[in-house]
A and B are shown apart, each in its own frame.
Chain A
Amino acid sequence: MSNTEMQTRFELVLGNLCEVPNFLEGCGTLEIEVEKKVFSDLVKHWTGLPRASRPRLRGMGTSRKDGGVGLFHVILDAGARLPLLVISSVCSSSRPLPRLSEIWPHAAWWEKEISHFEDLSIEGSATAGETRWLPR
């Protein structure tokens, strides 16, 4: 896959909401750090994408820093032979994280992990413990 093709695919995934580096070939991971607002816009963009064009969610997790503020990471797979995309955004216990299980149902597992082990809440859940768990 050429650099231009990679660029086009990433632009579709990121919806021109953040910049894609010019040189992608040979890079193992593409890391992008965005602000909370941009991240919310990205989630809206992914919700609007048709299922076939959506990137695949490979994982999500947080890294805690001091004062209850940390980083929320989302690992996306934009397609075969493309570097994995890690999008990070600042998160804090005072503001709930976006609910990604609306777009990718399997994200419910990691949402539960985050709400239980990191004491962060997920959007749409009254409390951390009420995150949707295994489907009944």
Chain B
Amino acid sequence: MATTLEFSPAQLASTQHLGAFGLILEEDGGLVAGARMEVGYGRRNLESISVRLPLGQVLNYSDRVDFLAAPAYNCALAAAFERLLDLEIPERAHHIRLILLELNRICSHLNFYANLARVLGQLPLMNHCLRERERFSDILEMYCGSRLGFGAICLGGVVGDATDGWFFRIEKAILSLRDFLPELDQLLLSHPFFEERTRGLAVIPREEAERWNILGPNARASGLASEDERITRPYGAYLKEQVQPTIFSGASGDVNARARIRAGEILQSAGIIEKCFRRIPSGNHRIRVGMEVSPSPGKAVSSVEGPRGTVTALAETGGGNCPSNVRFFCPSAMAVQMLPRLLRGIQVEDVFLVIHSLDISFSEVDK
């Protein structure tokens, strides 16, 4: 006999570290017969608030769209505004933005592993992942004084210049991270229990990933290797760094592939940051833009590769100092759309493993 299991937003936000959403499962014989998601519990209406604020202040709000990917939203919107204002930002600022984006990607992926380890009952590994993430949070705090919503990207560049001391701390953290990744592989990714439980679980075939617009690491785990804005449409300092696609041999689109690909991406990000250190030019980190700038009427679109996939921002101005329209198109919403299909037919105990494997941020779904 089928049973209905209801998970409330408060329960999922507090015990599963997922965010505020409702989940209703139809369970039959230990398997999920149907699933339904209810979103909107954490809606903050950030897009509507944005049209009441001057351009410079809107950027601070874009930090809040996804608390785990603040620089990606910040950078996407700043690039759109800069296009509207016809601003050429200094090369050094482009490079610092790249470092911030890649550091954030590492932080976000480590958070992903911490959550995954917790769901699997590997609590010591969860603590190790969080310990590594702390190092990167310290680095970001050293740069801008904040550990989550950084407010590091502003109109015309970045808020502060990067110092040698900061670079030194990043190098040290990357060294420690390189030592940690084999441990992660041994304790989680190559562990026979993990292999057995995740192989062939909640598979997203390549065609389905394309059809449902699955983005970022989830798409790359399904075999869409070039599904990366840094490769298909490079922006800022990525034009010079020329990111290579993540070569991932086991792109089977299951939970295992989605978990494994992020370890490769952490290494890739570390490599990009190190390459960037060697090429970062000297000079100004920003050009001064007044508080009350009014771009000429028009619209601009900009996209940035965030930790969960491509973040697209659309900005429109009508001639005043506030934007007339701001829209964000986020990758997690696309994954949420696909979730009910993925959950059908799996065991009830695997439900949260599958949800965590997609690395959904409900903060950006509800924006």
Contacts and interface: CB of A to CB of B under 8 A. Distances in A.
Contact of B329 (A75, A86, A104, A136): A75
B36 A134 contact: yes
Interface in B285-339: 298-303, 310, 312, 314, 316, 324-325, 327, 329, 333-334, 336-337, 339
Interface in A92-123: 104-106, 108-110
B211 A59 contact: no
B129 to A, nearest CB: 31
B203 to A, nearest CB: 17
B314 A59 contact: yes
A23 B336 CA distance: 39
Interface residues of B, number: 32
A76 to B, nearest CB: 10
B233 interface: yes
B340 A59 contact: no
A81 B233 contact: yes
Given A59-B327, A75-B314, A136 B340 contact: yes
Contacts of A63: 316, 324-325
A24 interface: no
Interface in B191-243: 211-213, 226, 231-233
Given A59-B327, A61-B314, A136 B36 contact: yes
Given A59-B314, A63-B325, A135-B337, A105 B211 contact: yes
Interface of B: 34, 36-37, 83, 211-213, 226, 231-233, 298-303, 310, 312, 314, 316, 324-325, 327, 329, 333-334, 336-337, 339-341
